[in-house]
């Protein structure tokens, strides 16, 4: 298989889908002439022209609303936010219009639109540019929330998101656009709502997504050297959640650690912990443990930023805590 970066895999997904369906277009800040702030849309303006690759003004609320209207009349927009930190300007459009339109119209209007861009902290960008928004985004009925941690997943999930008839919020990572992985040459789709086992184990289940998944895999490798076999799950879709995959793993390992790059209060990890204790209570041999960002605005200072976010040592200690060692 070819080895692609994350940005190349995302680019391939959009290009293949736009070749397949003339109703798909891309809109966002700097997606055209500049080839994308992170070069995810490189070459797409030359390939598809300015009617299908639109450079938008610095008005997330404005071009998100334009995209929703276009989706309601039969087009299939892909809206790129330079970062989901800027996407909060469009939350009114996403939450009050895209998410609710199908329900409030009695099924008369589908809104087949993808909002995509990097989520979470990058590196030393400060508190206003370093937030993980999945707790907010998954708290709204009417949308699907998808996240990717490998180029293979990124391409397959984005193609499925573009074909979905519902609004899909697609969470990437600035730190992972250069991350490389194998991607098949031919057509493939990854269904939304289906998680993946990234590492098989028997002693503890670890759940993580987006870039923090790779810290979890590092921790699992270190724990493996100590004789502790960790099973690592990536939900991939956060809404709807693949609960059957999670419950099945917990019933096998009897222990669960959830790691996420978000504040812990009211988070996706809290929801997973609630569902596990409700459905797998008699299977648990230890309380569910969660590893999250410290509950503070993200510092700019590099050492402090490192301290706030989940790191390998904290994950390793959490696993040992649920094993009582």
Residue 254 pLDDT level (bands cut at 50, 70, 90): very high
Which superfamily does CATH assign the domain made up of 2-183 to?
Thiamin diphosphate (ThDP)-binding fold, Pyr/PP domains (3.40.50.970)
For position 257, what pLDDT does the model report?
A: 98
Judge whether residue 1 has pLDDT over 90.
no
For the residues 176-190, what does the mean pLDDT come to?
96
End-to-end CA distance of the chain: 41
For the residues 154-175, what does the mean pLDDT come to?
98
Distances (CA, A) of 152 to 156, 180, 181, 206: 6, 9, 7, 21
| 3 state DSSP class of 232 | strand
Mean pLDDT of the chain: 97
Q: Which of 80, 97, 129, 214 is catalytic?
A: 129
**β partners of residue 289:** 257
Beta carbons of 117 and 67 less than 8 angstroms apart: no
Q: For the chain, where do the domains classified as CATH 3.40.50.970 start and end?
A: 2-183
DSSP symbols for 44-93: HHHHH-TTTEEEPPS-HHHHHHHHHHHHHTT-EEEEE-S-HHHHGGGHHH
- 114-126 residue pLDDT tens: 999 999 999 999 9
For position 133, what pLDDT does the model report?
A: 96
Q: Which of 8, 60, 80, 261 is catalytic?
A: 60
Q: Is 60 a catalytic residue?
A: yes
Q: For the chain, where do the domains classified as CATH 3.40.50.920 start and end?
A: 196-323
**β partners of residue 246:** none
Judge whether residue 184 has pLDDT over 90.
yes
Beta carbons of 246 and 155 less than 8 angstroms apart: no
Beta carbons of 199 and 222 less than 8 angstroms apart: no
Beta carbons of 257 and 246 less than 8 angstroms apart: no
For the residues 106-134, what does the mean pLDDT come to?
95
Residue 45 pLDDT level (bands cut at 50, 70, 90): very high
Rounded-to-integer distance, Cα 292 and Cα 289, Å:
10
How many CA atoms, within 13 angstroms, populate the side-chain half-sphere of residue 241? 21
What fold is seen in the domain 196-323? Rossmann fold (3.40.50)
- 148-164 residue pLDDT tens: 999 999 999 999 999 99
């Amino acid at each position: 298989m070819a080895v692609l970066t994350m940005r190349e895999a995302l680019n391939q997904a959009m290009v293949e889908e736009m070749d397949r369906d003339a109703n798909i277009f891309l809109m966002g800040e700097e997606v055209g002439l500049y080839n994308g702030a992170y070069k995810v849309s490189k070459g797409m303006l030359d390939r598809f022209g300015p009617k299908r690759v639109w450079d938008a003004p610095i008005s997330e609320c404005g071009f998100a609303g334009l995209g929703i209207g276009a989706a309601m009349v039969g087009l299939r927009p892909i809206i790129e936010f330079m970062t989901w930190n800027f996407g909060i300007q469009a939350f009114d459009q996403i939450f009050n219009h895209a998410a609710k339109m199908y329900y409030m119209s009695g099924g008369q209007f589908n809104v087949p639109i993808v909002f995509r861009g990097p989520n979470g902290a990058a590196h030393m960008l400060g508190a206003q540019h370093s937030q993980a928004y999945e707790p907010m985004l998954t708290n709204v009925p009417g949308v699907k929330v998808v996240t990717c941690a490998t180029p293979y997943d990124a391409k397959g999930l984005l193609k499925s998101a573009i074909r979905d008839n519902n609004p899909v919020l697609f969470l990437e990572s600035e730190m992972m656009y250069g991350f490389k992985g194998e991607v098949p040459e031919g057509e493939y789709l990854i269904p939304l709502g289906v998680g993946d086992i990234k590492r098989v184990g028997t002693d503890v289940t670890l759940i993580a997504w987006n870039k923090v998944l790779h810290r979890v895999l590092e921790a699992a490798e270190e724990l493996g050297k100590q004789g502790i076999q960790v099973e690592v799950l990536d939900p991939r879709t956060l809404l709807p959640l693949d609960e059957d995959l999670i419950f099945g793993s917990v019933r096998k390992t009897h222990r669960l650690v959830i790691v996420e790059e978000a504040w812990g209060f009211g988070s996706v990890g809290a929801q997973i912990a609630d569902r596990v204790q409700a459905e797998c209570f008699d299977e648990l041999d230890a309380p569910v443990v969660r590893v999250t960002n410290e509950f503070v605005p993200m510092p700019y200072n590099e050492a402090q930023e490192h301290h706030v976010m989940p790191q390998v040592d904290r994950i390793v200690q959490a696993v040992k805590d649920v094993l009582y060692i």
